[in-house]
Structure 1
Amino acid sequence: MTIRRLCGALRVRGVTDLLLVLLLAGGFAALPVFALLPSLSGFVAASAVTYVADEVLHSRAPGFVRRLATLQLTRPLRFAVRTVMLLALASRADAPEAVLVTALAVFSVHFAAMMLYTALHHAVRRRRVLPLGVRNLDMSELPIPKQPPAFLYRRFLRKLLHLDLPAHAGLLAALATGGWSLAYTGFAVTVAVPVLGVLALLLQYRRVRRMPVRDEVFAEVNRRLADYRPQVALYFSFAAVSRDFMYQVNMWIETLEQLDMRPVIILRERASFRHLSRTWLPVVCVPKADDLAELELSGVRVVLYPGNAGKNVHMLRVAEAKHVFIGHGDSDKLASSNRVSKVYDEIWVAGRAGRDRYQRVRHAISDSAIVEVGRPQLAPIRLHAEHTPGPLPVVLYAPTWEGWSDDDCHTSLIPMGVPLIEKLLQENVRVIYKPHPLTGKRSAEAAEADRAIRELLRADNEQRGAAEAEAAVAAAKPRLKEIQERLDELAGRLGGDDAEQLREARLPDRAAAAEWQELRAEWHRIFWETRGPVRHNVILKSLPTLYDCFNQADILISDVSSVVADFVAGLKPYVLTNAHDLPDEEFRAAYTTAGGAYLLDRDCTRLTGILDSVRAPHTDPMAPARRTLKEYVLGPDHPSSMERFNAAANALAAKSEAERLEAETELAA
């Protein structure tokens, strides 16, 4: 427990990283000792330890490196300490005065060049910040200079700092051999290379002075949008955006691509732009509200919102369009029946359950504003009748996160997650653990439970003798990585900064959609085949997808969330956690999706009986309830969800256009 707390305080992941931290601290503590003794061999060893440990920690424990920076122990300071200790060692070892003076001058020039390079780099980067980002529009006519070469531009401080190595190595070799020419050779390299780097970056600075101004950028983007003539927009903003939130947009992309109208995606944070999935739709990222008003969106008749965020008001002020809240999942959480939704013209829900949920918010949402459109995203989910069981029952545990507040905290991780996994492991099942992407963002207890569950599954994999599966997993990694890189390329995740991505933006090749689907299918096939039939799996990344995990599972254990509503589409048995041990009737009355669920108490005493529904399907008493619940929650199978969603979009756009023409007629009269 002490080690775990120490790892938490230092922001490191485990014992290995903690050992590296101790080596780094011990190395720096030893430097002045060996410098003053003096001990050349001891100093060389301590210096090497600090170099290596520092470098490895930057990759393995970035949280610890950031913690050092908050204590003003920045990387340049650590390099400066090493240099001062080296000069102290040289002085104590009676190095010639000329060598000492030269060394002091060299290191001073090195740090001065580093400061100048940093200033130039910031100047170049500021000039390359454009007011917006674009994907899938041809921006080739904008005169944007190429990004400086990676060796000059990326991780420049790391490279510059390590240029002290020639001088360090030369001086240490000279102290060992007495050949002072070695020291001067190292000094020359340490001075020459940074100076050449500064000169090279000065040339790059001259080029970026010709960057297009704001008005030029907007004029070109608006010209391209005018050629495309968007009619419907998906608008997304999230204050703390990261890749963890982008599922809210990515889940709607394929649906948008099948609309009769021409869609455009509008994002507000640059980070979300980088984590967007593949699409041929035009995408515009506009961070500033004033800049958003500059976009030519006069033809947009419908705006779709997958999330409630403060920046939504910047788009809601567009009176010519109709505004629709579509959400990012249909669940019994407060977010799926929020009074804030009253600001939208319509609210699109999956089925009758969504309508009833909003009607419980008395006098807030008009029934006429609610439209049932189904869930078009659920097409990839296979039905229970199409599922082929494996040698062990597969249990998908997909808990929700802790929410933004305790009022919206439905996660089972904190009160019962670890005991649940322990009991599942006693039942001889195979576990797929897929926590919510935001797990642990607010609650340290949730993060700790998440870590404990991963460790339990790892340890049980070892006991099961999963060495053969681990070898297959390792053998498949190169091919999976190759596929992932190609998927990133097809998704438009180009290298370079925002200006470089805008410079390279082109009209997409729609034929790439087929390759995208084939590669994703191959990735999933390889992933599951190499995992074997008994190995537990922890799923933390976007691949494999949640719906592919649905298709692998025999049964789901989850909390009150949209995951449950989506899982209902396959008609497989599922379990809702009743962490507060409410009476069954009260729990089912409070949460719609509990209507077809097995309820699991906090102590998991019902778990064995529930799993019998998987081991012997004829003993599954909740099957009829699931069939009834599916239509209530997700709507009828015919017409399809896609047809209903498309019809709702067309109808609202026609209404918006009719109101616009009526307003123009009245104004003319």
Structure 2
Amino acid sequence: MTIRRLCGILRVRGTTDLLLVLLLGAGFAALPIFALLPSLWGFLAATAVTYVVDEILHVRAPNFVRRLAALHLDRTMRFAVRTVMLLALASRLRAPDAVLVAALAVFSAHFAMMMCYTAVHHAIRRRRILPLVVRNLDMSDLPVPPQPPALLYRRHLRKLLHLDLPAHAGLLVAAATGSASAAYSGFALTVMVTMAAVVALLAQYRRTRRMPDRAGVFAAVNRQLAAHRPEVALYFSFASVSRDFMYQVNMWIDTLEQLDLRPVIILRERASFRYLSRTRIPVVCVPKADDLAELELSAVRVVLYPGNAGKNVHMLRVAEAKHVFIGHGDSDKLASSNRVSKVYDEIWVAGRAGRDRYQRVRHAISDSAIVEVGRPQLAPIRLHADHTPGPLPVVLYAPTWEGWSDDDCHTSLIPMGVPLIEKLLAENVRIVYKPHPLTGKRSADAAAADRAIRELLRADNERRGASEAETAIAAARPQLKEIKARLDELAGRHRGDDAAQLRESRLPDHAAAAAWQELREEWHRVFWSSHGPLRHNVVVGQLPSLYDCFNEADMLISDVSSVVADFVASLKPYVLTNAQDLPDDAFRAAYTTAGGAYLLDRDCTRLPEILASIRAPHTDPMAASRRTLKEYVLGPDHPTSMERFKAAVRALAAKAEAERNQRTTDLAA
């Protein structure tokens, strides 16, 4: 427990990283000791340790490195400490005064040039930050200079600081051999290379002065939008945590691409833009509200909102369009029937359950404003009848997160997550553990439970003799990485800055959609086959997708969340955690999705009985309830969800157009 707590304080992942941190601290503690003794070889060893371990920790434990920076022990300070200790060692070893003066001058000049380089680098970055970024619009006519070479631009401080190595090595060689020429050679190399880097970056700065101004950027983007004339906009904002919430946008992309009307996606945070999935829809990222008002969106008739966020008001003020809250899943949580939704013209839900949920918010939401459109995203989920069981029952445990506050905390991780996994392991099942992306963001207890579950699964994999699976996973890793890189390329993702994103934006290649789908299917095939039919899996990140985990599982165990409502589409058995041990009738009355669920008490005493339903499907007493619940929660199978969604968009767009024409007529009269 002490080691785990220490790892949490230092923000490292495990014992190995903790040992590296201790080694780094020991190395820096040894530097002044060896400098004052003096001990040349001891100092050389301590310096090598600090250099090497520092670089390893940057890769293995970036959170620890950020913690050091917060304590004013950033990389620059650590390099400065090494330099000062080296000068102290040289002085104690009676180095000639001329060498010491030259060393002091060189190291001072190196730091001064480093400051100059950083200032120029920041100036270039500021000039290359644009008021908006786009994808899938042809911006080739906009004269945007290319991004500076990665050698000069990316991780510049890390590279510049290491340019002191020739000077360090030269001074150490001079101290060991007594030859001043080695020191002067190292000094000259450090100064010349650093100076060359500064001159090269200044040349890049001159190119950035040709960046188009704000008016020119908006004019070019608006010309493209005017040619596209988008009629439906998907609008999304979620502040600084956009990366974790981008699933709310990505789940709607396929649906938007099938609409009869022309769509556009509007994002408000740059972080969300980087994690957008592949799409052929034009995408515009506009961080500032004033800039949003300058976009050419006069043809937009319907605006769709997958999330409730404060910045939604910047789009809601557009009176000519109809505004619709579509959400990102049907959940029984209170947040899924928020009174704030009254600001929208309509609220689209999957089925009758969504309508009834909003009706519980008395005197807030009009029944006529609620439209049942189904869940078009659920098409990839395979039905229970089409599922082929493996040698072991596969249980997907997908707990929700701890919420923004204790009032909306539905996670089972804290009260029962660890004992649940322990009892599942005793039942000889295969576990796929997929925690919510935000797990542990607010609650340290949730983060601790998540770590404990991962450790339990890792230990059980070792007990089962999963070494063969580990070998297969290692063999498949390069192929998965290659496929992922190709997927990122097709998605239009790259590491360029705002200006590079705008410069590279082109009209989408429609043929790439088929290649994208084939690659995703190939990635999932390679992933599951390499992991084998017996190994437990911890699934994080965008791949494997949630719905692919649904297809892999025989049963879901989850909390009150939209994950359960989506899983209902498969008609497979599922379990809702009842961590408060409410009476069954009260729990089912409170949560709609409990109507077709097995209920699991906090002590998990019902677990063996529940697992019998997947071991002997003919004894599954909840099968009929799940079929009834599916239509209630997700709507009928015919007409299809996609047809209903498209019809709702067409009807609301026609209504918006009619009202706009009426206003024009009234003004003319």
Q: Normalised by the size of structure 2, how large is the TM-score? A: 0.99
Aligned letter for 1:562? S
Partner of 2:228: 228
User: In the alignment, is residue 107 of structure 1 matched against residue 107 of structure 2?
Assistant: yes
Partner of 2:405: 405
Distance 1:65 1:197 in 2: 26
Partner of 1:161: 161
Aligned to 2:241, what secondary structure does the other structure show?
A: coil
Q: Are the equivalent residues in 2 in contact too, given 1:234–1:266 (CA < 8 A)?
A: yes
Partner of 2:416: 416
Partner of 2:136: 136
- The superposition leaves residues 263-300 of structure 1 with CA deviations (integer Å, 9 ceiling, x where unpaired) of 00000000000000000000000000000000000000
Partner of 2:259: 259
Distance 1:635 1:617 in 2: 25
Aligned to 1:599, what secondary structure does the other structure show?
A: strand
Aligned letter for 2:81? V
Aligned letter for 1:127? R
Distance 2:385 2:63 in 1: 47
Partner of 2:518: 518
Distance 2:472 2:418 in 1: 28
- The superposition leaves residues 350-372 of structure 1 with CA deviations (integer Å, 9 ceiling, x where unpaired) of 00000000001000000000000
Distance 2:633 2:322 in 1: 25
- The superposition leaves residues 20-62 of structure 1 with CA deviations (integer Å, 9 ceiling, x where unpaired) of 1111111111111111111000000011111111111111111
Distance 2:12 2:622 in 1: 45
Partner of 2:376: 376
Partner of 1:310: 310
Distance 2:176 2:494 in 1: 49
Q: Are the equivalent residues in 2 in contact too, given 1:226–1:296 (CA < 8 A)?
A: yes
Aligned to 2:48, what secondary structure does the other structure show?
A: helix
Distance 2:563 2:642 in 1: 20
**Alpha-carbon offset, residue 179 of structure 1:** 2.0
Distance 1:621 1:570 in 2: 16
Task: Report the RMSD for the aligned CA atoms in angstroms.
Answer: 0.6
Q: Are the equivalent residues in 1 in contact too, given 2:36–2:89 (CA < 8 A)?
A: yes
Distance 2:573 2:66 in 1: 45
User: In the alignment, is residue 643 of structure 1 matched against residue 643 of structure 2?
Assistant: yes
User: In the alignment, is residue 391 of structure 1 matched against residue 421 of structure 2?
Assistant: no
**Alpha-carbon offset, residue 220 of structure 1:** 0.4
Distance 1:48 1:486 in 2: 38
Q: How does 1:20-39 map to 2 (within 5 A)?
A: 20-39=20-39
Distance 1:6 1:592 in 2: 43
Distance 2:338 2:437 in 1: 22
Q: Are the equivalent residues in 2 in contact too, given 1:402–1:410 (CA < 8 A)?
A: yes
Partner of 1:238: 238
Partner of 1:7: 7
Aligned to 1:347, what secondary structure does the other structure show?
A: strand
Q: How does 1:117-132 map to 2 (within 5 A)?
A: 117-132=117-132
Q: Are the equivalent residues in 2 in contact too, given 1:329–1:562 (CA < 8 A)?
A: yes
Aligned to 1:22, what secondary structure does the other structure show?
A: helix
Partner of 1:542: 542
Partner of 2:479: 479
- The superposition leaves residues 159-209 of structure 1 with CA deviations (integer Å, 9 ceiling, x where unpaired) of 000011111111111111122211111101111111111111111111101
Distance 1:336 1:262 in 2: 28
Distance 1:268 1:444 in 2: 30
- The superposition leaves residues 94-146 of structure 1 with CA deviations (integer Å, 9 ceiling, x where unpaired) of 11111111101100110000000000000000000000000000001111111
Distance 1:369 1:110 in 2: 66
Q: 180-189 or 317-326: which moved more?
A: 180-189
Distance 1:23 1:616 in 2: 55
Aligned letter for 2:492? G
Partner of 2:351: 351
Q: Are the equivalent residues in 2 in contact too, given 1:256–1:263 (CA < 8 A)?
A: yes
Partner of 2:454: 454
Aligned to 2:577, what secondary structure does the other structure show?
A: strand
Matched positions, count? 669
Distance 1:430 1:459 in 2: 13
**Alpha-carbon offset, residue 494 of structure 1:** 2.3
Partner of 1:98: 98
Distance 2:80 2:343 in 1: 57
Aligned letter for 1:553? A
Q: 391-400 or 63-72: which moved more?
A: 63-72
Distance 1:206 1:519 in 2: 42
Partner of 1:180: 180
**Alpha-carbon offset, residue 65 of structure 1:** 1.4
Q: 170-179 or 420-429: which moved more?
A: 170-179
Distance 2:210 2:373 in 1: 50
Q: Are the equivalent residues in 1 in contact too, given 2:378–2:569 (CA < 8 A)?
A: yes
Aligned letter for 1:447? A
Q: Are the equivalent residues in 2 in contact too, given 1:232–1:303 (CA < 8 A)?
A: yes
Distance 1:18 1:389 in 2: 42
Aligned letter for 1:287? P
Partner of 1:250: 250
- The superposition leaves residues 451-496 of structure 1 with CA deviations (integer Å, 9 ceiling, x where unpaired) of 0000000000000011111111110011110000000000000231
**Alpha-carbon offset, residue 241 of structure 1:** 2.4
Distance 1:298 1:334 in 2: 35
Q: Are the equivalent residues in 2 in contact too, given 1:241–1:269 (CA < 8 A)?
A: no
**Alpha-carbon offset, residue 68 of structure 1:** 1.3
Q: How does 1:493-572 map to 2 (within 5 A)?
A: 493-572=493-572
Distance 1:63 1:572 in 2: 40
Distance 1:261 1:70 in 2: 50
**Alpha-carbon offset, residue 242 of structure 1:** 3.4
**Alpha-carbon offset, residue 649 of structure 1:** 0.2
User: In the alignment, is residue 665 of structure 1 matched against residue 665 of structure 2?
Assistant: yes
**Alpha-carbon offset, residue 239 of structure 1:** 1.6
Q: 348-357 or 14-23: which moved more?
A: 14-23
Distance 1:504 1:618 in 2: 57
Partner of 1:284: 284
Distance 1:19 1:548 in 2: 38
**Alpha-carbon offset, residue 243 of structure 1:** 2.1
Q: Are the equivalent residues in 2 in contact too, given 1:330–1:349 (CA < 8 A)?
A: yes
Distance 2:33 2:471 in 1: 47
Distance 1:438 1:331 in 2: 17
Aligned to 2:240, what secondary structure does the other structure show?
A: coil
Identity of aligned residues (%): 83
User: In the alignment, is residue 211 of structure 1 matched against residue 211 of structure 2?
Assistant: yes
- The superposition leaves residues 139-159 of structure 1 with CA deviations (integer Å, 9 ceiling, x where unpaired) of 011111111100000000000
Distance 1:255 1:621 in 2: 35
Aligned letter for 2:404? W
Aligned letter for 1:269? E
User: In the alignment, is residue 426 of structure 1 matched against residue 426 of structure 2?
Assistant: yes
- The superposition leaves residues 315-373 of structure 1 with CA deviations (integer Å, 9 ceiling, x where unpaired) of 00000000000000101011211100000000000000000000010000000000000
Distance 1:370 1:563 in 2: 22
Partner of 2:583: 583
Q: Are the equivalent residues in 2 in contact too, given 1:396–1:553 (CA < 8 A)?
A: yes
Distance 1:535 1:582 in 2: 34
Distance 1:77 1:396 in 2: 47
Aligned letter for 1:611? L
Q: 174-183 or 334-343: which moved more?
A: 174-183
Aligned to 2:395, what secondary structure does the other structure show?
A: strand
Distance 1:588 1:263 in 2: 39
Partner of 2:72: 72
Distance 2:57 2:551 in 1: 39
Distance 1:389 1:640 in 2: 28
Distance 1:202 1:541 in 2: 39
Q: Are the equivalent residues in 1 in contact too, given 2:240–2:269 (CA < 8 A)?
A: no
Q: Are the equivalent residues in 2 in contact too, given 1:374–1:634 (CA < 8 A)?
A: yes
Distance 1:64 1:512 in 2: 40
> Structure 1 regions of 5+ residues with no counterpart?
none
